[in-house]
Amino acid sequence: MSNMHTSNTIDEVKSQLTKIREQGLSIGFVPTMGALHKGHLTLIKEARKENDFVVCSIFVNPIQFNNKTDLKKYPRNIELDMNMLQKEKCDLLFYPSEDEMLSTYQVEEFDFGGLDQVMEGKFRPGHFQGVATIVKRLFEIIEPQRAYFGMKDYQQLVIIHKTMKDNNLPVEIVPCSTIREKDGLAMSSRNQLLSKVERKQAATIYKVLKKTKIHSGFYTVNEIKQYVEAQFEKSKNFKLEYIEITDMYTLKPLKAWTQSNNVIACIAIQVGNVRLIDNIILFS
Ligand code: AMP
């Protein structure tokens, strides 16, 4: 098995990748916050298929957390992560410290054209400015041809796509399907924070989303939202933050099905103290 190299500094990673580019090799990039699972590994596999050289970054980005406790309890397992990446034949891991990434960073104010006014952007103020600042910074360091993002974080995917286009960064953004546990729960680093009971209950999220898809032909947008709200009122362990039915590209919430031909339902919910998100395409 070829050895994965780990770099902690921007200078080192840049000089490594200059050599790769000089050989005419293409670079695929998977940015993550670590505590890796099969969802992340699918992104690595996709990158492996389409590129000569695969780079993964692990950086728990403090400027995208609007809640200090959430940042503090975010799971970190670097040893396990490195083993998993090595097995997936990742070529280079970029694992910088907070200082390395943030000591010289400039706060950027991106104009997301309203994409950040709903859902995650509304419930986590400043979140997407933090995400886009770091993703742009990572792209400038790594200069990949392609970068891989999961559909699970759908609003993030749309916002990154726009930001890179607006800033003329020549990176192809590749969306990857959401990988799920056997019972349908979307894989997430945060799932390991759930108690046994909460973990079982969390399977309800995707079950309800699948129902919304079936119901979308028969009920109004409002009726579906009410249906979802009612499902999560059944247990006090659930605290629904939002269920939003939006156009897939503008992310504008719909009032009627006729307002869009490409529709996605997105949800954020607290199960116990753990905040989870998921989504399902209703039609496109
Ligand atoms: P994170 O480490 O949670 O910031 O996620 C890093 C990348 O992995 C993002 O592009 C996520 O959308 C993606 N990802 C996370 N969970 C999944 C999943 N269950 N299936 C597919 N991609 C995922």
Same structural domain for residues 78 and 115? Answer: yes
- Tell me, in angstroms, the distance from the centre of ligand 1 to residue 8's CA: 22
CA distances 11 to 58, 79, 81, 137, Å, are 16, 23, 23, 13
- Residue numbers of the chain with a pLDDT score lower than 70: 1-2
- The per-residue pLDDT for 106 is 80
Task: Let me know if residue 181 belongs to a domain.
Answer: no
Q: How many residues comprise the chain?
A: 284
Q: Express each pLDDT in 268-284 by its tens digit.
A: 999 999 999 999 999 99
Q: Express each pLDDT in 177-233 by its tens digit.
A: 999 999 999 999 999 999 999 999 999 999 999 999 999 989 999 999 999 999 999
Same structural domain for residues 168 and 195? Answer: no
Instruction: Say what percent of the chain tops pLDDT 90.
Output: 96
Q: Which domain holds residue 28?
A: 5-176
Distance CA 138, CA 145 (A): 13
Same structural domain for residues 12 and 153? Answer: yes
Task: Let me know if residue 37 belongs to a domain.
Answer: yes
Ligand 1 atom 14, closest CA: 150
Structure tokens at 35: 């505590």
Same structural domain for residues 158 and 210? Answer: no
- Tell me, in angstroms, the distance from the centre of ligand 1 to residue 273's CA: 20
CB burial of residue 152 (10 Å; 0-12, 13-18, 19+) = buried
Query: Which CATH number is 160's domain given?
Result: 3.40.50.620
- The per-residue pLDDT for 37 is 98
CA distances 171 to 13, 105, 135, Å, are 18, 21, 11
- The per-residue pLDDT for 260 is 97
- The per-residue pLDDT for 217 is 84
Same structural domain for residues 225 and 111? Answer: no
What is the tally of structural domains in the chain?
2
Contacts of 1 (CB under 8 A, 6+ apart): 86, 87, 89
Q: Which of 176, 206, 223 is the last residue of a domain?
A: 176
Q: Which of 155, 176, 197 is the last residue of a domain?
A: 176
CB atoms within 10 A of CB 209: 21
Same structural domain for residues 14 and 149? Answer: yes
Same structural domain for residues 214 and 264? Answer: yes
Q: What angle do CA 55, 88, 84 make, to 5 degrees?
A: 95
Same structural domain for residues 170 and 69? Answer: yes
Distance CA 147, CA 172 (A): 6
Ligand 1 atom 6, closest CA: 32
Structure tokens at 230: 């009612």
Same structural domain for residues 25 and 155? Answer: yes
How crowded is the C-beta side of 212, counted as CA atoms within 13 Å?
32
Put the strands of the sheet holding 238-247 in their side by side order.
Answer: 238-247, 263-271, 274-283
Is 37 labeled as catalytic in the residue annotation?
A: no
Ligand 1 atom 5, closest CA: 32
CB burial of residue 258 (10 Å; 0-12, 13-18, 19+) = exposed
Task: Let me know if residue 183 belongs to a domain.
Answer: no
Distance CA 142, CA 14 (A): 7
Query: Which CATH number is 222's domain given?
Result: 3.30.1300.10
Ligand 1 atom at shortest distance from the alpha carbon of 156: 12
Q: Which of 152, 176, 200 is the last residue of a domain?
A: 176
Amino acid at site 72: K
Q: What are phi and psi of 236, to 5 degrees?
A: -75, -10
- Tell me, in angstroms, the distance from the centre of ligand 1 to residue 91's CA: 19
Contact 243, 227 (CB under 8 A): no
Given 5, 37, 40, 161, which residue is catalytic? 40
Strand, helix or coil for residue 75: coil
User: What pTM value is reported for the model?
Assistant: 0.97
Same structural domain for residues 150 and 253? Answer: no
Same structural domain for residues 143 and 236? Answer: no
Distance CA 45, CA 143 (A): 19
Task: Let me know if residue 58 belongs to a domain.
Answer: yes
Distance CA 4, CA 186 (A): 28
Cα-to-chain-centroid distance, residue 52: 24
Same structural domain for residues 16 and 138? Answer: yes
